[in-house]
Structure formats: C-alpha cells, structure tokens
Chains A and B, each alone.
Chain A
Amino acid sequence: MSDVKARIAVLDYGIGNLRSAEKALCHVGADAVLTADPDVVRDALGVVLPGVGAFGACMRALRDSGLEPVARAAATDGRPFLGVCIGMQMLFDGSDEDPGVAGLGLVPGRVTRLPSTVRLPQIGWNTIERAHASRLFDGLDDPAWLYFVHSYAAEPRDSSVVAAWCDYGRKFAAAIEMDSVWATQFHPEKSGDTGLQLLRNFVAACSATAPVQ
C-alpha cells in the first residue's frame, strides 16, 4: 500500500449537495477532489458517484455535464467505484420516479417506489442486514446503523449482487457489490463513525490498486 494519499475523484455534475462525500473522504485520509474534469477522473485511483434529489434530474445533469461516459468507464474499468444514494440508483436500468429517463444500465434491474404503507421519504437511521461478507463492511458493527433519505429503492434482477438488505415497508437493496463496483442507498458520509469507517474501507480498496512506485 502506498503512503501517498489515494486520489479519489468525486464526480461533480452540478446537482445538490455533492460536497459532503468529498469532505468525508478527505476526513478519512483520502485526497478526494470534487471534479468535472475527465482527465482528473481518469487518473484517480477510485471514483465516487454521489447523487441527491430526483432520479431524472440527476441522470439529466450527468448527461448534460458530459460525465456519463466518464462514469460508465470508471465503473467498468476495474477501479474501485462507489455510487451513493441516487448514485446507486443511476447504475440501474431505470426508475419508476422518472420512467422516461434511462439509467446507466450497468446493473440489471429497476428502481421502484417503496410501499405507501410507510411514511415516505424514509428519512432517518436504519440497520442493514448483510447478505454476504464485503470488505466495505470491515470493522463495522453488525447490525450497523446507517442514514437513509429516499422514497425509491433498487430491485436488482440478480439478488446475488446485493451486499446488504434493509427493511422499510419492504425489503430492499441497501448496498450492492459487483467486482470493484460498490453502491449504497444510505449515505455513508452522513452516518457518523459507522459511515466514516465504510469510507475508510473504500479508500483502502483504492490504495490497494495503486501501482507500486
């Protein structure tokens, strides 16, 4: 592992609060930078796709910013990649929130609305149930408390990509893992010590991929 801080690119496509992820990554020792520059993203050891707000607005902003191919490349070239909240949802084929807007289509499945039997959005802390071991969860309590803010949640076609489940109105995918692609419906950057530990694990995964100097 390199002593040099891991350079992590947080994709800045100009929507909502994208600063929190950058601040939290820096806090756990990464050299995180909020950027819209494809060259910076290309040279980073790891890439984070944050997202808040509505699915359609986020997808449109990602496309308008020209970062869609950059995000797609980052999620498929083997570097550690982390999608957060809408950043997780955008990896899927599409969302019932904005049915006319296509997602990135990197993870088969759709994003659907949580049942109206519960108060929506889910705003608050909830526990996750691990589906299988993941390095993302190293050092976390089990069950771990994470902070959620959402009304929609992903339904992966292949449930083996689910790293952790959560239950609110129905069981839904709280985190997914596919090779070097991770994504969380919850906000690790807003989940106190637990979330910071998860980000530390992601940073460690990024550092581990650094070329030996």
Chain B
Amino acid sequence: MLKVRVIPTLLHKGFGLVKGVHFDSRRAVGSPMQAIKVYNLRNVDELVFLDVTATLEGRGPDLDLIDDLADDCFMPFAVGGGVSTVDDVRDLLAVGADKVVIGTAALERPSIVREASDRFGAQCVVVSIDTRRHDDGTPEVFVRSGTQGTGRDPVDVAREMEAAGAGELLVQSIDRDGVMDGYDVDTVRRIADAVSVPVVASGGAGIFEHMAEVLRDGCASAVAASAMFHFTEQTPMEAKQYLREQGFPVRI
C-alpha cells in the first residue's frame, strides 16, 4: 500500500529561509543548504522548496541555488516560485529538481501545464492552488503570492489543472499559513473528491493531530508543513510515528 507522505516545506526569500503568516510578513529563519542537509540525515519522505517572492519580484527560479541544493538532496525534491515558462520547468529539472511547482503561471496560462506535462511527464508537474476564505466562508483561489484574487472556486481550478496534465496538486491555505491551528480540511476534501491525482495539504499544521485530521477527513495523500517543523521541537519522524499509531500507513 502507498504510504502517506510527510513533507517539510522550505520557504525561501532572497538569501534565506523564512516563516510567513498568511503568505505575508515573512521573517528569516536560516540557510536552505543547512536545512537540506538536516532533512537528508533525517531521511524525510520528500522536500518542497518554494521561492515565495520570485513571482512578485518578477524573477525566475534561482537555478544556481537549486543546483547546489540538489547536489545534497537524495530524496524527492519539488521546487517552485517564479516558474512562468516551460523553459523554466526544463531548466529546474536539468539542475536537479524532481518536480516543479507551478502557481500563478498555471492559473494565468494553463497551457504551460499542458506543455510541461506532455514534455516531461505529469509526475513532475505540481500545481499550487492557493486559497483564501472570505468572511462568509467562500473559498477563492489567489495568485501572485496571495496578493491577487482570481474569483474562482478551488474545485473548478483543481479540475482544470488535472485536465491540463498536473500530476499532483499542492493545496495551500493562505488563511492558515504559519498560524499552526489546523489545515483547511474542507477545501482539501472537496478537491480530493473532485480529482484523481494526489493532493498535498499545506498550511496550518501545528500539531500532529492536524495532520491526521486532513489525511482522514480531507483525504489528502500527503501533508506538508513548514512552521511546525522549523519553529517547534516536532520532527517529521515523530509526525510519522504519531500517524502510524493512529493507523495511517507511513514509511518509518
């Protein structure tokens, strides 16, 4: 049986890793190379690295940095931020990314997803769907690091991205980002029910029970967490031990 994955997410801005709240007010927390080495030793399931301000700053991916990081990464490595063309996808794969996370560009030009999927395979095309809830609870998909609404429902976007060739969906909650009070289980569940590709839940993990909740009630295939692993004593291995005790299949 396929195991649920626990994925540390590294949020990168400028020269270092950051922790954000609601996709904003990010502050530096360390060096990405150091983090990669630690997670390599800890034998984690996978790593996600997101250059969170690249699109806003009009930058492409930092290929030299990814090249360096990939040298020491003998685990699956997903990289995103600033990916706006199929050539960006090609370049990231060439320097050692295993998967490329496409956000804003996928929403604005779904053809990039189609073309990347046809050329490099669906397995390396991850589309990030960033959602925010309005006061009445209605979720909306946002782009450009959470600064611009699209007026679209997450489920519609998820279906469109799957049809365009996405091999995986990274469903991130902007409201829950960095707050550590639980995932947006409902949105994850609605998306997981609507598509057949794996759904990775992101944003809101603070305690292991949050992970169990979004795996069980949200039907996620994997859980990503950033602040929880970088700002508390809790480790990915402990998360998996907890999940195993709760009856989830995990790789220990």
Judging by beta carbons under 8 Å apart, are B94 and A145 in contact?
Answer: no
Closest residue to A190 on the B side, CB-wise?
A: B76
Does B121 sit within 8 A of A, measured CB to CB?
yes
Out of B45, B74, B120, name the residue touching A189 (CB < 8 Å).
B74
Judging by beta carbons under 8 Å apart, are A17 and B94 in contact?
Answer: yes
Out of B3, B5, B45, B93, name the residue touching A17 (CB < 8 Å).
B93
1/0 per residue A125-154: CB within 8 Å of B?
A: 110000000000000000001010111000
CB interface residues, B 82-105, toward A, < 8 Å: 93-98
Contact count band on A: 35 or more
Judging by beta carbons under 8 Å apart, are A167 and B124 in contact?
Answer: no
Judging by beta carbons under 8 Å apart, are A20 and B43 in contact?
Answer: no
Judging by beta carbons under 8 Å apart, are B167 and A192 in contact?
Answer: no
Complex formed: what's the CA distance from A76 to B77 in Å? 33
Complex formed: what's the CA distance from A109 to B120 in Å? 24
Closest residue to B200 on the A side, CB-wise?
A: A123
Does A5 sit within 8 A of B, measured CB to CB?
no
Does B184 sit within 8 A of A, measured CB to CB?
no
Complex formed: what's the CA distance from A124 to B2 in Å? 7
1/0 per residue B162-193: CB within 8 Å of A?
A: 00000110000000000000000000000000
Closest residue to A146 on the B side, CB-wise?
A: B251
Out of B2, B4, B74, B120, name the residue touching A15 (CB < 8 Å).
B120
Interface size on B, residues (CB 8 A): 35
Judging by beta carbons under 8 Å apart, are B124 and A150 in contact?
Answer: no
Min Cβ gap A190→B in Å is 5
Judging by beta carbons under 8 Å apart, are B94 and A19 in contact?
Answer: yes
A147 touching B76 in the complex, CB below 8 Å, given contacts A17-B94, A17-B124, A125-B251: yes
Would you call the interface of chain A mostly helix, strand, loop, or mixed? mixed
Out of A123, A125, A187, A190, name the residue touching B167 (CB < 8 Å).
A123
Q: Which residues of B contact A20 (CB under 8 A)?
A: 70, 96, 98
Partner-binding segment picked from A41-49, A62-70, A114-122, A156-164: A114-122
Complex formed: what's the CA distance from A126 to B221 in Å? 13
Does B108 sit within 8 A of A, measured CB to CB?
no
Q: Which residues of B contact A120 (CB under 8 A)?
A: 196-197
Out of B40, B75, B121, name the residue touching A16 (CB < 8 Å).
B121
Out of A126, A150, A168, A190, name the residue touching B74 (CB < 8 Å).
A190
Judging by beta carbons under 8 Å apart, are B76 and A16 in contact?
Answer: no
Q: What are 15 A-B pairs with beta-carbon distances under 8 A?
A: A16-B120, A17-B124, A19-B70, A20-B98, A52-B93, A53-B120, A118-B2, A121-B123, A123-B168, A124-B2, A124-B222, A125-B2, A147-B75, A149-B124, A196-B74
Since A24-B74, A125-B5, A151-B122 are in contact, a sample of 4 more A-B pairs with Cβ atoms closer than 8 Å, ordered by chain A residue number, is: A52-B93, A123-B168, A124-B198, A125-B3
Residues of B that sit less than 8 Å from A by CB: 1-5, 40, 43, 45, 70-71, 74-77, 93-98, 118-124, 167-168, 196-198, 221-222, 251
Residues of A that sit less than 8 Å from B by CB: 15-17, 19-20, 23-24, 27, 52-54, 57, 86, 116, 118-126, 145, 147, 149-151, 167-168, 187, 189-193, 195-196
